[in-house]
């Protein structure tokens, strides 16, 4: 084990810290994490941990979600510049306006959003449970934000009217349907797994539409030996590590989330040493945002 890895391990123990990492993190970060997962799993892990400190290796909204769920714990993010551009596409004022326009609609907000927006929402969802969350609500109309593509995917799985928001994920829209078609020609036996943040044309070509951990579970259980993977590139490391005898082909080398790549082992070491950068959410916003997240965690799903 490298010296840096050893140091992180020692410091983590001394500080009673747990390292949570998203499936898109660099391999070197995934390798030192106590747990790697998708947004839903990471929220559940944060809520259930008895560690005093959470080092969140992901993007800001994920660390914020942990801070909302665990006000008594110190939540730190190794690089505070790790924003999710999609989360920045949804603002509170526009949401308030939309709520006035559709007073009977229930607001379902993807966790890829700010704490302020969550606080204005009835319930949150992740890519793993968006369909179940929407269908669990006793309402005919749903305001769904910020991802229009996840919203469109959900709309194909519900009778409810979905009011969309104009948000999207840059790395996922870079995956083109032609990329999938080309790869299918070269690997006709491969299963096509795509994330629901992809565009409808890509989703149409998929065998399975899954969250990042949904992909892990599916690839692990499947008899197939080859997979075309339509999501952010970091996922390939995770899938290969879990399934060394299977082949995973990234749908596009352009699907890179730069924010997810800011965290390195050095940054984790630095953040543990200095206990920085602490993520704190103002209490009035935290309490309201927590209600929306708690409602999501109560929904039975995957």
Give contact residues for ligand 13P (rule: CB under 6 A).
23, 38-39, 112, 126-127, 169, 197, 211-212, 232
Query: What is the smallest separation between the CB atom of 35 and ligand 13P, expressed in angstroms?
Result: 13
- Contacting residue, 86, 145, 210, 296, with ligand SF4 by CB under 6 A: 86
| Residue 25 near ligand SF4 by CB under 6 A | no
Angle at 260 between CA 64 and CA 17, to 5 degrees: 55
Look at residue 83 and give the partner it binds from ligand 13P, ligand SF4, none, a contact being a CB closer than 5 to 8 Å depending on partner kind.
none
Question: Among 53, 84, 206, 268, which residue interacts with ligand SF4 (rule: CB under 6 A)?
Answer: 84
100, HSE (Cβ side, Cα atoms, 13 Å): 6
**Of these, 257, 279, 285, 296, which contacts ligand SF4 (CB under 6 A)?**
257
211 binds, among ligand 13P, ligand SF4, none (CB under 5 to 8 A by kind): ligand 13P
CA atoms within 13 A on the CB side of 133: 31
- DSSP secondary structure, 202-271, as one string: HHHT-SEE--HHHHHHHHHH-S-SEEEEES-TTHHHHHHHH-TTSEEEES-TT---GGGGS--HHHHHHH
Residue 54 CB partners (closer than 8 Å, separation 6+) = 17, 18, 20, 46, 63, 66, 70, 73, 74, 75, 76
Nearer to ligand SF4, 4 or 256 (CB): 256
Lookup: tokens for 289: 């945002």
For the bound state, the minimum distance from the C-beta of residue 112 to ligand SF4, rounded and expressed in Å, comes to: 5
Within residues 187-226, the interface with ligand SF4 by CB under 6 A covers none
Distance of alpha carbon 244 from alpha carbon 49, whole angstroms: 30
**Binding pattern for the stretch 141-180 against ligand SF4, x by CB under 6 A and - elsewhere:** ----------------------------xxxx--------
Q: Where are the beta strands (DSSP E) in the chain?
A: 17-22, 35-37, 53-57, 74-76, 106-110, 123-125, 141-145, 161-164, 191-194, 208-209, 226-230, 247-250
Regarding 259 and contact with ligand SF4 (CB under 6 A), the answer is yes
User: CA 165, CA 102: separation in Å to the nearest integer?
Assistant: 13
Task: Specify the residue, 120 or 126, whose C-beta has the smaller distance to ligand 13P.
Answer: 126
Count the residues in the chain. 302
Question: What residue 23 binds from ligand SF4, ligand 13P, none (CB within 5 to 8 A, per partner kind)?
Answer: ligand 13P
Please say which residue, 37 or 171, places its beta carbon nearer to ligand SF4: 171
For position 85 contacting ligand SF4 by CB under 6 A, the verdict is yes
Helix (H) or strand (E) holding 292: helix 283-298
Identify which of residues 76 and 257 has a Cβ nearer to ligand SF4 in the complex: 257
Q: Does 59 bind ligand SF4 (CB under 6 A)?
A: yes
Cis previous bond, 21, omega within 30: no
Q: Is 32 in the site for ligand SF4 (CB under 6 A)?
A: no
Binding mask 104-133 vs ligand SF4 (x if CB under 6 A, - otherwise)? --------x---------------------
| Residue 85 binds: one of ligand 13P, ligand SF4, none (C-beta under 5 to 8 A by kind) | ligand SF4
């Amino acid at each position: 084990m490298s010296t840096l890895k050893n140091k992180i391990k020692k410091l983590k123990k001394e500080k009673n810290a747990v390292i949570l990492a998203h499936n898109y993190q660099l391999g070197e970060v995934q390798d030192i994490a106590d747990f790697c997962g998708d947004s839903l799993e990471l929220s559940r892990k944060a809520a259930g941990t008895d560690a005093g400190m959470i080092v969140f290796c992901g993007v800001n909204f994920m660390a914020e979600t942990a801070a909302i769920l665990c006000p008594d714990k110190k939540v730190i993010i190794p690089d505070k510049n790790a924003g999710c551009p999609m989360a920045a596409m949804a603002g509170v004022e526009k949401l308030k306006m939309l709520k006035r326009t559709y007073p009977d609609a229930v607001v379902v907000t993807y966790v890829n959003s700010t704490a302020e927006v969550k606080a204005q929402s009835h319930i949150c969802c992740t890519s793993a449970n968006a369909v179940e969350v929407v269908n669990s609500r006793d309402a005919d109309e749903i305001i769904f934000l910020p991802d229009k593509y996840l919203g469109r995917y959900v709309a194909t799985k519900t009778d409810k009217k979905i009011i969309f928001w104009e948000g999207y994920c840059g790395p996922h829209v870079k995956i083109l349907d032609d990329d999938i078609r080309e790869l299918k020609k070269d690997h006709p036996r491969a299963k096509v797994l795509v994330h629901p943040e992809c565009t409808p044309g890509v989703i149409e070509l998929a065998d399975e539409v899954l969250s990042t951990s949904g992909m892990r579970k599916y690839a692990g259980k499947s008899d197939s030996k080859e997979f075309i993977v339509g999501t952010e590139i970091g996922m390939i490391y995770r899938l290969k590590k879990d399934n060394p005898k299977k082949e995973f082909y990234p749908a596009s080398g352009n699907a890179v989330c730069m924010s997810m790549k800011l965290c390195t082992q050095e940054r984790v070491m630095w953040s543990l040493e200095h206990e920085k950068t602490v993520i704190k959410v103002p209490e009035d916003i935290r309490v309201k945002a927590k209600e929306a997240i708690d409602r999501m965690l109560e929904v039975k799903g995957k």
